[in-house]
Amino acid sequence: MTTKVADLTPDEFVALLDDFYAEPKKRYKLKEAEIKDLAIRLNEKIDVPFIKETGEEKILVKVIFKIDTFLYDHLPNEFYDVIRSTDHGISKKEARRLVRRLTRLANQKIDIPYLPEVAEHFAIKFVIGMVVKAARKKLNFDEVRASSAAIAVPESDEDIEAMVED
């Protein structure tokens, strides 16, 4: 059960502030295993030019860190509790709205010069789509990652909402 803000102890409030103002090195919320797994799955879908396959996965880990840091800055940290729970979550309508807004904003804010623009935009849509879909009620991140091969990343931003559908 969550605690109301008025009921937070001074230590809990300081921890909340520390989390919010974390230094850049700590500004991610996906777990190490989740990031590695996403890099492998993303590598199956895009190609990083001039790099060997093992190097590609390392580069994609960095890309995912960049996207996760963006999400850290633009979502409440409690959102990550929702992606790991099947009991709580957001509605399909809210997921569609959120994936559209976040991918649009991320594409403006994130620049990955060593990836072609098409691959960069694909990676942004893939990672954000997976995270937002996992936040839906009755879904979680492990289930969504396991079905990632079946998730089609739309070429058009107009169809981005399909990323969070069943």
Distance, CA of 37 to CA of 41 (rounded, Å): 6
Q: Is residue 59 part of a domain?
A: yes
Q: Is residue 83 part of a domain?
A: yes
Q: Is residue 123 part of a domain?
A: yes
Task: Give the model's pLDDT for residue 27.
Answer: 67
Task: Give the model's pLDDT for residue 65.
Answer: 93
Q: Is residue 150 part of a domain?
A: yes
Residue of 115, 105, 113 lying closest to 157 (CA atoms) = 105
Q: Is residue 128 part of a domain?
A: yes
Count structural domains, the chain. 1
List per-block mean pLDDT (blocks of 10 residues) for the chain, which spans 166 residues.
Answer: 76 84 76 92 85 82 94 88 89 96 96 90 96 94 90 89 90
Q: Is residue 13 part of a domain?
A: no
- What are the C-alpha distances in Å from 153 to residues 32, 72, 127, 162? 23, 22, 10, 8
The answer to whether 16 touches 8, Cβ cutoff 8 Å, is yes
Task: Give the model's pLDDT for residue 1.
Answer: 44
Domain that holds residue 39: 29-164
